[in-house]
Homo-oligomer: A and B are copies of this chain.
Amino acid sequence: MLDQIHLLAAVTVLGVLEQAYFFLQVIYARRAFGISPPKSSGPPEFERIFRAQVNSSEYFPIFLALLWQAGLFFHQGVAAGLGLLYLCARYCYFIGYRTSSSKRLPAIYFGTGILWILIAASALGIIHFFLSHYMGLNVLQLLTV
């Protein structure tokens, strides 16, 4: 079973490490700007870093859910490759957002595009499974005939 998920697991752990990096940046920013918890508002420079982390945290379960469905039902290698691209896009988003609000945009468009590809891959894989499981239709076989 593990050989069907080891690439997904590796990307998952890399994603956790990236989240840890984002959390650390917020801790450093709290110290630099003197903003102690539970406060979460402050100068725009701090709020941009804070919001970048919050946004990345909100997307993390969505990313994992899609990574694993696409990896299990479409193709593990493709899903893991897209997952790595997404983690890169998230990193660029964070670095860009820290500089200015507008600099987060290219990376967020790219990252969101990857998530939509993962949604499409998951949906195709699951629909393909439903067709073959419930109706005995093998679409890939039909297309090649």
Which of A's residues lie within 8 Å of B, judged by CB?
1-6, 9-10, 12-13, 15-17, 19-20, 36-40, 44, 47-48, 50-52, 54, 57-58, 60-62, 64-66, 69, 72-73, 97, 101, 104, 115, 119, 122-123, 126, 129-130, 133
Bound-complex Cα distance A10 to B133 (A): 14
For residue A111, give the distance in angstroms from its CB to the closest CB of chain B. Answer: 12
Query: What are 30 A-B residue pairs whose CB atoms fall within 8 Å in the complex?
Result: A1-B4, A2-B129, A3-B133, A5-B72, A6-B73, A6-B126, A6-B129, A6-B130, A9-B72, A9-B73, A10-B126, A12-B69, A13-B119, A13-B122, A15-B65, A16-B62, A16-B66, A16-B119, A17-B119, A19-B62, A20-B115, A37-B104, A38-B47, A38-B50, A39-B47, A40-B51, A57-B58, A60-B61, A61-B61, A64-B65
Q: Is the interface of A mostly helix, strand, loop or mixed?
A: helix
How many chain copies does the complex carry?
3
